[in-house]
């Protein structure tokens, strides 16, 4: 993936002004600066294959008490800024890493002042993925930094040369850990500016190199930490360094180069760090982190040119290429590959603009290592599908809720619709001419008198059905309601006599007499002394029919149970009226499947 620079690109402008020439200089990339980068690049290219080795013995010309308060024990390594020793801090009785600075740097007041400020801030670091700084000591023997000691003698470059390219799952762990450490440092005001494999330290307790990545990463004391904050910059550093000078004062080129010297590793630094160091921020460290991840996955830097000019030309022309792990490793995870391409974009605006956004991408990848069916990884992979699925589920749920609501409303109004439908002479049979169908304030009603003949409901009750009937006496009197078999001889099953007395209503239940001498008589069934609605002009009854018995209710209060021989269907009749005028309303025959929903208490108390 390449992204050629357009004519307005600041990086392109800087490259065109310099042309990697020592004769033509740019305000930022001068010949001296370019020469220093070239020397640094050649030093890196001259490095041989790193080998793991235990501590080197302390040289004879180095006294153990060179650093006040510490006893030097061995040499860990050396570099351009100085030598790192393993030492014992006498006051706290702990092992520390002591970096003794190069005497040339220790005598530089500008560098020492910057180093003191950085050490003060680094001393506040408390993060497992950053090597902490304990103290900075300046004595007659020079300057040194006391740092946290990470056992194992393993940095990123040595580890890759020992075990080969790092498997993807472990590279993700390292990448996420470093991103968290850099984010923590950036919150403290620091930009590292030298993220590279050599500055990654891997903790390993055994006094031997690990035999596999599994042994290293599964070690209970495993830890990866970023070291060498010696060239880190604060967010206000360049503002202070590039303040305007008083009129008439022009710094010499060499003096300016000393204050604004290029730092970092050319193979891993961002393009703007080489060309425009005043633009370095967290996005530059994110670029270097992507280059470091490229090296961990492939075993080589992303732009392996033979000369510095080739490397810088590629860096200022192309985005970071996609790492391709060597066979037989599986192809790179597309989410990780996409993240690395964005981290290594040529233009700063195209990269992750902060660590929070980067961590949101890396965190699900790391979570997937411990749980292959990680919810966060699954949702990240299938976020578009899941969003559509959730939308469809919401719509389906809405339709279901609307359906349930509609059915509930229909069920609640079912009995009322039946009332309006049954209070109609066409639903009855018998002496219809002696009855009237009228409309009142209560709705449609059937009106009968003492001269009205019997009426029988055409629809028959089946087991589980119930019948609702309301009647209103216009004067003192009675009405006889019958329930009889709908087949055969139509034997009576139950009789209801409703009385209207001057101040109350009475309902009397009766069963056919079983005495041989009076087969047409009825035996009364004891019921409640008073109806719950005895003073209400309307008597409201519910008759719940079963195969061998029926339950009679006044509203929701049972009046009695009538037992009879088993029948499959029953008919309801208004047998006789003994009153000047009686009105029947709210007549509804509710079938079994609806009765179970409308009258649950009836079935619970009388199964």
C-alpha–C-alpha distance, residues 24 and 39, integer Å: 19
C-alpha–C-alpha distance, residues 195 and 293, integer Å: 10
Q: In this structure, what DSSP letter does residue 322 have?
A: P
Neighbours of 262 (CB within 10 A): 22
Q: What is the dihedral of CA 265, 268, 270, 275, to 10 degrees?
A: 40
Residue listed under structure tokens 């309801």: 572
**How many angstroms separate the Cα of 1 from the Cα of each of 12, 96, 299?**
18, 44, 20
**Residue 524 structure tokens:** 């009364």
CA of residue 23 relative to chain centroid, distance: 58
Q: Is 194 a catalytic residue?
A: yes
Q: In this structure, what DSSP letter does residue 130 have?
A: B
C-alpha–C-alpha distance, residues 484 and 507, integer Å: 18
Which residue in the list 61, 135, 194, 221 is annotated as catalytic? 194
For the chain, the maximum distance between any two Cα atoms, rounded to a whole number of angstroms, is 142
CB–CB of 344/271 below 8 Å? no
Q: What is the dihedral of CA 145, 147, 149, 154, to 10 degrees?
A: -80
C-alpha–C-alpha distance, residues 325 and 279, integer Å: 32
Give the end-to-end CA distance of the chain in Å, rounded to a whole number.
77
Q: Kindly tell me the sign of the dihedral angle through the C-alpha atoms of 371, 373, 375, 379.
A: positive
**Residue 83 structure tokens:** 């030598």
CB–CB of 52/204 below 8 Å? no
Strand partners, 82: 101
**How many angstroms separate the Cα of 129 from the Cα of each of 157, 287, 535?**
17, 18, 86
C-alpha–C-alpha distance, residues 269 and 194, integer Å: 7
Neighbours of 414 (CB within 10 A): 16
CA of residue 597 relative to chain centroid, distance: 41
3-state DSSP helix/strand/coil % of the chain, to nearest 5: 35, 25, 40
Residue listed under structure tokens 């069920």: 411
Residues ≥6 apart with Cβ < 8 Å to 25: 18, 31, 253
Ramachandran class of 481: left when φ > 0, alpha when ψ lies in -120 to 50, beta otherwise = beta
Neighbours of 410 (CB within 10 A): 10
Q: Which amino acids are annotated catalytic?
A: 194
């Amino acid at each position: 993936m390449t992204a050629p620079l357009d004519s307005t690109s600041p990086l392109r402008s800087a490259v065109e002004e310099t042309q990697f020439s020592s004769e033509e200089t740019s305000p930022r990339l001068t010949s001296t600066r370019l020469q220093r980068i070239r020397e640094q690049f050649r030093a890196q290219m001259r490095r041989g294959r790193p080998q793991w080795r235990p501590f080197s013995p302390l040289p004879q010309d180095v006294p153990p008490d060179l650093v006040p308060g510490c006893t030097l024990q061995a040499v860990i390594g050396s570099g351009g800024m100085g030598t790192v020793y393993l030492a014992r801090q006498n006051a706290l009785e702990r092992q520390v890493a002591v970096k003794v600075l190069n005497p040339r740097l220790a005598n530089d007041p500008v560098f020492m002042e910057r180093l003191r400020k950085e050490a003060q801030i680094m001393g506040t670091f408390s993060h497992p993925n950053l090597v902490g700084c304990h103290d900075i000591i300046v004595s007659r023997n020079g300057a040194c930094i006391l740092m946290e000691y990470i056992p194992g003698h393993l940095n990123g470059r040595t580890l890759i040369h020992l075990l080969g390219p790092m498997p993807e799952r472990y590279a993700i762990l390292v990448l996420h850990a470093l991103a968290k450490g850099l984010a923590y440092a950036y919150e403290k005001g620091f930009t590292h500016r030298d993220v590279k494999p050599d500055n990654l330290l891997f903790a390993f307790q055994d006094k031997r190199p690990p035999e596999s990545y599994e042994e290293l990463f599964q070690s209970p004391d495993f830890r990866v930490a970023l070291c060498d904050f010696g060239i880190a910059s604060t967010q206000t550093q360049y503002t202070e360094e590039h303040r305007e000078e008083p009129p008439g004062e022009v710094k010499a080129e060499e003096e300016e180069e000393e204050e604004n010297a290029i730092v970092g590793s050319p193979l891993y630094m961002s393009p703007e760090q080489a060309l425009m160091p005043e633009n370095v921020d967290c996005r530059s460290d994110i670029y270097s982190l992507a280059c470091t991840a490229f090296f961990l996955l492939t075993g080589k830097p992303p732009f392996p040119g033979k000369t510095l000019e080739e490397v810088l030309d590629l860096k200022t022309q192309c985005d970071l290429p996609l790492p391709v792990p060597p066979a037989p490793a599986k192809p790179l995870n597309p989410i990780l590959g996409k993240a690395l391409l964005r981290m290594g974009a040529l233009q700063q605006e195209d990269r992750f603009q902060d660590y929070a956004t980067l961590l949101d991408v890396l965190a699900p990848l790391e979570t997937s290592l411990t749980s292959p069916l990680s919810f966060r990884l699954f949702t990240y992979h299938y976020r578009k599908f899941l969003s559509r699925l959730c939308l469809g589920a919401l719509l389906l749920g809405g339709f279901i809720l609307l359906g349930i609501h509609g059915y509930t409303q229909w069920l609640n109004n079912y009995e009322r619709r039946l009332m309006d439908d049954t209070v109609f002479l066409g639903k009855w049979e018998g002496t219809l001419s002696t009855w009237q169908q009228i409309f009142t304030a209560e709705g449609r009603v059937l009106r009968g008198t003492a001269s009205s003949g019997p009426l029988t409901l055409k629809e028959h009750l089946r087991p589980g059905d119930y019948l609702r009937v309301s009647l209103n006496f216009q004067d003192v009197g009675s009405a006889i309601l019958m329930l009889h078999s709908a087949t055969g001889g139509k034997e009576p099953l139950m009789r209801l006599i409703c009385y209207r007395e001057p101040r109350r209503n009475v309902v009397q239940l009766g069963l056919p007499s079983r005495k041989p001498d009076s087969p047409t008589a009825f035996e009364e069934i004891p019921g409640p002394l008073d109806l719950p609605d005895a003073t209400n002009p309307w008597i409201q009854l519910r008759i719940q029919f079963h195969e061998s018995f029926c339950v009679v209710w006044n509203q929701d209060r049972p009046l009695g149970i009538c037992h009879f021989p088993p029948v499959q269907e029953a008919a309801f009749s208004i047998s006789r009226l003994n009153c000047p005028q009686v009105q029947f309303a709210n007549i509804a025959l509710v079938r079994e499947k609806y009765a179970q929903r409308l009258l649950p208490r009836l079935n619970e108390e009388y199964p």
